[in-house]
């Protein structure tokens, strides 16, 4: 009961400081793309995933287990988004390279 009250208070405080208007998806995609090659991100992911797995392995009650599973699912989802953003960027770079080579060929003729 106290836990739920504290969570509600925290959400109210967060809602006051964060504006949900005008969310820029381009900035999010740029951040996800940069994150792929960041070694700090990789280490954070590895440490967080290991911590979640170890915590689940020691035996926790059902509620805690479900929370940990949700946190791990969110972490893995974020990893998937980072990987996807990198794949999109790699494809864009390959297309740009092809266009550049084609324009060079056309300029030589």
pLDDT digits (tens, 9 = 90+) for 13-65: 766 666 767 888 899 899 999 998 899 999 999 999 999 999 999 988 999 99
Total of domains in the chain: 1
Give the integer Cα–Cα distance in Å for 77 and 57: 21
Two tokens, residue 31: 């951040």
Q: How many CB atoms lie within 10 A of CB 93?
A: 10
Domain presence at residue 4: no
Q: Domain residues for 36?
A: 22-108
CB 80 within 8 A of CB 88: no
Helix residue spans in the chain (DSSP H): 2-17, 25-36, 39-57, 62-108
Give the integer Cα–Cα distance in Å for 7 and 3: 6
Q: What is the pLDDT of residue 100?
A: 85
More confidently predicted of 68 and 1: 68
Domain presence at residue 55: yes
Q: What is the pLDDT of residue 15?
A: 64
Domain presence at residue 69: yes
Percent of all residues in the chain with a pLDDT value above 90, rounded to a whole number: 54
Q: What is the pLDDT of residue 18?
A: 67
């Amino acid at each position: 009961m106290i836990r739920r009250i504290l969570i509600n208070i925290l959400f109210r405080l967060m809602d006051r400081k964060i504006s949900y208007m005008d969310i820029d998806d381009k900035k999010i995609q740029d951040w996800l793309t940069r994150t792929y090659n960041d070694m700090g991100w990789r280490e954070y992911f590895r440490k967080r995933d290991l911590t979640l797995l170890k915590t689940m392995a020691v035996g926790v009650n059902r509620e805690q287990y479900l929370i940990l599973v949700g946190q791990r699912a969110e972490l893995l989802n974020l990893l998937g988004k980072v990987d996807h953003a990198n794949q999109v960027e790699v494809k864009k770079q390959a297309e740009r390279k092809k266009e550049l080579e084609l324009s060079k060929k056309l300029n030589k003729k």
